[in-house]
Amino acid sequence: MEIFVAITIGILVATGLYRLLGGCKVDIIIGLILLSQAANLIILASGGLKHNAAALVGDDPDLSSFADPLPQALVLTAIVIGFGILAFLLTLLIRSPK
């Protein structure tokens, strides 16, 4: 299943770059949205992908049976920060001269 994820991310990056190079301001914002989605997936994938192994632990956990929680925590903050940056970019888009 890794190959699917890799190809998906690759296509997200490609679409993001295509849009980013479009040459107008909206293009840059859409391109950045797509790229940041891809980046979140890359961080998650770099920690190793596991199905049905959410990091909800008991008192004495078997460490190898859980997905890596650290990339997840990083991506969670990245999603929120990405949202914040996007919101700020959109205000700039609204305020910038046409």
15-34 residues in contact with another protein (CB under 8 A) are: 15-26, 28-30, 33-34
By CB under 8 A, tell whether 41 contacts another protein: yes
Kindly state the smallest distance separating residue 32's Cβ from another protein, in Å.
11
Kindly state the smallest distance separating residue 91's Cβ from another protein, in Å.
5
CA neighbours closer than 13 Å in the CB half-sphere of residue 43: 16
By CB under 8 A, tell whether 9 contacts another protein: yes
By CB under 8 A, tell whether 97 contacts another protein: no
83-90: long-range pairs with CB below 8 Å, 24+:
85/32, 86/29, 86/32, 86/33, 86/36, 89/29, 89/32, 90/29
Task: Extract the tokens encoding 69.
Answer: 């929680």
Kindly state the smallest distance separating residue 56's Cβ from another protein, in Å.
5
Burial of 16 (0-12, 13-18, 19+ CB in 10 A): buried
Kindly state the smallest distance separating residue 81's Cβ from another protein, in Å.
6
**DSSP state, residue 64:** G
Site for another protein, residues 55 to 94, rule: CB under 8 A: 55-59, 61, 63, 66-70, 72-73, 75-77, 79-88, 90-94
